[in-house]
Amino acid sequence: MNFAELQNGLKEAMKARDTLRKEAIQTLIASVKKTAIDEGTRDNITDELVDSVILKELKIAKEQVDTCPADAAQQLEEYKYKLDVIKEYAPAQMTEEELVPYISEKFGELIASGNKGVYMKTIMADLKGKADGKLINKVISQIAKK
C-alpha cells in the first residue's frame, strides 16, 4: 500500500460523503504522517512504513471492537465499520496453512536447536508485516513439539 492510495481513498470518501469512512482513512493518514515525522522520513514515506502503520491501526481497531460494551450498539457498529475500512487497506497476511510449510522449510533446523529466543527473533524479523505475531508463535510451538 502506498501513501497516494490512502489519499485517493480519502478523496473518494469525501466525494461520496461517507463520514465514517473518511474519518477512518484520515486516522490512517495522520498516523502515517506522524510516524514518518518521528522517524525523520517526512518527505520519503515508504510503502513498508505505510503497511506497518496500517497494521498497528488494525490491531487498535480490533481491540476497540473487542472491548466495546454490549450496550453501546451504535458505537460498536462504528468501530466495526472502521475496522472493515482499515482491513481494505491492510497488507495481505499469511494464514496458518501458509505459515506451517514456510517456517518448517526455512527455519526447521533452527527450531530443532531448541533455543526459542534465538529462533523467535530470527523468524519474527523475517515475517514482520507478513503474518500476525500470535499466529507465528502458535505455529512455531506446534513445529517445536514435533
Q: Write out the three cell numbers for 41.
A: 522520513
For residue range 54-105, list pLDDT tens digits in order: 989 999 999 999 998 878 888 889 999 999 999 999 888 888 888 888 877 7
Domain boundaries, the chain: 3-89, 96-145
- Dihedral over Cα of 141, 138, 98, 115: its sign: negative
Cell of 32: 502515517
Q: Which fold has domain 3-89?
A: Hypothetical Protein Yqey; Chain: A; domain1 (1.10.1510)
- Name which of 99, 93, 92, 101 is nearest 131 in CA terms: 93
Question: Using one digit for the tens of pLDDT, what is the confidence trace for 106-141?
Answer: 777 766 777 777 777 888 888 877 888 888 888 887
CA nearest to 24, candidates 75, 79, 74, 66: 79
Whole-prediction pTM: 0.75
Neighbour-count burial of 117, counting CB atoms closer than 10 A to its CB (0-12 exposed, 13-18 middle, 19+ buried): exposed
- The three-point CA angle 55-72-69 to 5° equals 65
Quick: pLDDT tens for 19-36. Answer: 999 999 999 999 999 999
